[in-house]
Amino acid sequence: MLEYVPKSITNFFLEVYGLYGFTVAYFREIFKRPFEFKEMIRQFFQIGNKSLGLVSITGVIIGFVLALQSVPTMSQFGAVSLIPSMVSIAIIREIGPVIIGLICAGKIGSSIGAELGSMKVTEQIDAMEVSATNPFKYLVVTRITATTLMIPLLVIYADAVAILGGFLALSIVGDETLYFYFSKVFSALTFSDILPSTIKTFFFGFAIGLVGTYKGYNASRGTESVGVAANTSVVVGSLLIIIIDMIAVQITTIIS
Amino acid sequence: MDKENDTNIKQISKEGIVIEDKNVIEISDLKLSFGNNAVLQGIDLEVKKGETVVVLGKSGTGKSVLLKCIVRLIMSDSGKINVLGMDVLTLNDKELVKLRTKIGFIFQQAALYDSMTVRENLEFPLERHENLDEDEHNKRIEEVLESVSQKESIDKMPSELSGGMRKRIGVARTLILKPEIMLWDEPTTGLDPATSREISYLIVKMQKDFNVSSIVVTHDMSCAKIVSDRIVVLKDGKFIIEGTYEELSKSDDEFVKSFFEEV
Ligand SMILES: Nc1ncnc2c1ncn2[C@@H]1O[C@H](COP(=O)(O)OP(=O)(O)OP(=O)(O)O)[C@@H](O)[C@H]1O
Ligand SMILES: [Mg+2]
């Protein structure tokens, strides 16, 4: 029976099932001792440290370009003064989380996938297991927790930087002052813009960590599978972010 | 490299080793397949306390898989494995952890944690299983490095070590929990003859100093000659012959002869 189903479809469901199993195991293990705090804190730093530069540059450019692009159109309607609120809402609600999420899926997801993949291939994960340490706890739980908590921080930081980038653009083409720019930004933003988009970034972070660790932990034998693990971590991670975003937008529209 | 320690290792011989008449490992009718690939097809093996058994076999015959079954890194399909009086296949997680701390596993490629220094590699199992105060902790680390003559590597990263040094650190990392049994997966493969010999003598030293029982998987006959109390030969998923190095070297079996030809 099963051989009539195309391989790609069975693989897809096996993948989903595998990720589901990993999620269940994560929630089962996270509340058990030992907590591996040392490794978790190391991961926080690693993730933040590795992505800060990239996230900063991306943030500034997004805000800068978005503001600059809007000037010609908005000036036709005499609505240049609306640009700060438009830019900040667009960034906070959608552009910031999604773009930073995708960038982190590339940067962090691939490095987790490659790291765990090479540990798997060189039998380091087996070595942990026979030295009677739970490698799932030490490697997987710490990393998923770290991405889940760090991605939202990175997104908030990137949002701030992007809004600043918007100011940069407007102060170059026009005569926007910092004070007026930010008073427009803050009067436009409401709690209902910030909260849902922040909640969704926790899910982005979870997805990035989950996929990276899953792919790395389940890398097959042979060195080429390290590359495969890194690569598929990025692909599947990015896809999940888009899907989560779509679902999140649906939910927020229904609620509000 | 530390000259004095090297010569120390070289002088070790098999004399004065006590093998007790008590099985620490008992395997019977062990079977395992990966899909259509029947790797192990009924393995029977007993290892006595203090004994070193060498497993010979061609590449890809399932020697590594056999070792991994003993610590349940791979679950076998059927058969019985009894280690130190515990039935490996039915242990719960807690008991399995307890058993694994008594077994040292030396991986084919050493499997050092490459994001950690040598010291951290050694601390990793120690911190998790023994509650030592700082002095004892440091003393234990020095002791095990001393016994593999690698004291000077303590603050290096694994990537800075040579193949032979990595193997030794791998040994040190398993020694740190004072195992009763050691499983060596091709300890000398990829090393030059002199370093291979040193590692072989290291295996004998472990047996002598700590009375550990070992299974050594290898195709290196000079290693087998130095370390073995008994040799078993794996072919087509079964052990086809067993005996001492002397006995097997006189065997008429073509397959067995092929191992001795190189020497
Ligand atoms: N996890 C696994 N999944 C599927 N097949 C495996 C797995 N591990 C080993 N095998 C297969 O089992 C067989 C035996 O492998 P094993 O690594 O035990 O060989 P070996 O005797 O140790 O060889 P070598 O001397 O080259 O290390 C091989 O055919 C290998 O492809
Ligand atoms: Mg092998």
Judge whether A71 and A173 are in contact, CB under 8 Å.
yes
Ligand 1 binding pocket includes B65 (Cβ within 6 Å): yes
- DSSP states of B87-153 as a string? EGGG--HHHHHHHHTTEEEE-TT----TTS-HHHHHHHHHHHH----HHHHHHHHHHHHHHTT-GGG
Compute the average pLDDT of residues A246-250.
Answer: 93
Angle CA(B23)–CA(B24)–CA(B29) in degrees, nearest 5? 75
Query: Is the pLDDT confidence value at B3 over 50?
Result: no
Contact state of A124 with B173 under an 8 Å Cβ cutoff: no
Which residues, in sequence order, are CB contacts of B19 under 8 Å at separation 6+?
Answer: B48, B49, B50, B51, B229
Residue-wise pLDDT for B76-113, tens only, equals 999 999 999 999 999 998 899 999 999 999 998 889 99
What ipTM was estimated for this complex? 0.87
Does ligand 1 have an atom closer than 6 angstroms to the CB of B34?
Answer: yes
Q: What's the DSSP call for residue A90?
A: H
Report the alpha-carbon angle B16-B17-B22, nearest 5: 145
The yes-or-no verdict on residue A230 having pLDDT over 80 is yes
Ligand 1 atom closest to the CA of B68, numbered from 1? 18
- Name the more confident of A253 and A108: A108
Q: Do the Cβ atoms of B181 and B86 come closer than 8 Å?
A: no
Omega within 30 of 0 (cis) for the link into A72: no
**Contact assessment for residue B138 and residue B151, using Cβ atoms and an 8 Å cutoff:** no
Contact B215, B254 (CB under 8 A): no
Instruction: Tell which of B71, B113, B144, B181 to mutate to test the A interface (max A CBs under 10 Å).
Output: B113
Give the per-residue pLDDT at A2. Answer: 61
Cα distance from A127 to chain B (closest Cα, Å)? 6
- Measure A132 CA to nearest chain B CA, in Å: 5
Nearest 5°: the CA angle A186, A189, A195 is: 130
Decide the pairing of beta strands B78-83 and B230-235: unpaired
- Residue B1 pLDDT: 41
Pairing of strands B103-106, B86-87: unpaired
Nearest to B111 among A34, A126, A133 (CB): A126
Phi, psi (deg, nearest 5) at residue A103: -65, -40
Lowest-confidence segment of A38-42, A170-174, B7-11, B72-76 by average pLDDT = B7-11
- Interface with B, mutate which of A37, A123, A131, A143 (most B CBs under 10 A): A131
Q: Judge whether A209 and A147 are in contact, CB under 8 Å.
A: yes
pLDDT in tens, A59-78: 999 999 999 999 999 889 88
Name the residue with the closest Cα to ligand 1, atom 26. Answer: B59
CA distance A128 to B125: 8
Distance separating alpha carbons of residues A239 and B163, to the nearest angstrom: 41
How do residues B166-190 score in pLDDT, each as one tens digit?
998 998 999 899 899 999 999 988 8
B140 Cβ below 6 A of ligand 1? no
CB pair distance less than 8 Å for B128 and A34: yes
Tell me chain B's radius of gyration from C-alpha atoms.
18
Q: How far apart are CA A72 and CA A38, in angstroms?
A: 52
Atom of ligand 1 nearest to the CA of B108: 27
Whether residue A129 lies within 8 A of chain B, CB to CB, comes out as: yes
Confidence grade of residue B11 (pLDDT, cut at 50, 70, 90): low
Q: Is the pLDDT of residue B219 over 90?
A: no
Smallest CA-to-CA distance from B100 within B68, B61, B132 is with: B68
DSSP type of residue A3 = G
Any CB–CB contact under 8 A between B71 and chain A? Answer: yes
Give the whole-number percent of chain B exceeding pLDDT 70: 94
Residue ID of nearest Cα to ligand 1 atom 2: B34
Interval between CA B59 and ligand 1 midpoint (Å) = 8
Residue type, B9: I
Range A13-17, long-range pairs (CB < 8 A, 24+ positions): A15/A236
Please give the Cα distance from B190 to B158 (Å, whole number). Answer: 17
What's the rounded Cα separation, in Å, for the pair B203 and B207?
A: 6
User: Which candidate, B216, B244, B219, B249, places its Cα nearest to that of B230?
Assistant: B244
Q: Give chain A positions within 8 Å (CB) of B173.
A: 131
Scanning A30-123, the segments in alpha helix (DSSP H) are 37-76, 83-90, 96-104, 110-121
pLDDT tens for A81-100 read 889 999 999 999 999 999 99
pLDDT given for residue B262 in this prediction: 64
With a 6 Å cutoff on the Cβ, whether B60 touches ligand 1 is yes
Convert the pLDDT of each residue in B220-237 to its tens digit: 899 999 999 999 999 999
Q: Give the integer Cα–Cα distance in Å for A107 and A230.
A: 10
Query: Six-digit token pair at B246?
Result: 């002397």
Q: Whole-number mean pLDDT of chain A?
A: 92
* Bridge partner list, B155: none
C-beta B62 within 6 A of ligand 1: yes
**What does residue B31 show for φ and ψ, rounded to 5 degrees?**
-130, 145
Q: Residue B6's pLDDT band (boundaries 50, 70, 90)?
A: very low
Of the residues B61, B74, B184, B185, which should be mutated to test ligand 1's pocket, given the most ligand atoms within 8 Å of the CB? Answer: B61
Query: How far apart, in whole angstroms, are the C-alpha atoms of residue A105 and residue A244?
Result: 13
Indicate which residue's Cα is closest to atom 17 of ligand 1.
B64
Q: How far is residue A180's CA from residue A166's CA, in Å, rounded to a whole number?
A: 13
- Closest B-chain CA to A124: B111
In this model, does residue B211 exceed pLDDT 70?
A: yes
Dump pLDDT digits (tens) for B159-172: 999 988 999 899 89
| Residue A132 touches chain B, beta carbons under 8 Å | yes
Q: What is the pLDDT of residues B29-80, one digit of tens each?
A: 999 999 899 999 999 999 999 999 999 998 889 999 999 999 999 999 999 9
Closest CA to A119 of B115, B167, B119: B115
pLDDT-derived band of residue B147, with 50, 70 and 90 as boundaries? confident
Task: Please write the tens of the pLDDT for every residue from A120-177.
Answer: 999 999 999 998 788 999 999 999 999 999 999 999 999 999 999 999 999 998 888 8
Radius of gyration of chain A (CA): 21
Residues β-bridged to residue B230: B53
Q: Is the CB of B85 under 6 A from ligand 1?
A: no
Mean pLDDT of A185-202: 91
Q: Do A127 and B105 touch (CB under 8 A)?
A: yes
* Chain A interface includes B107 (CB < 8 A): yes
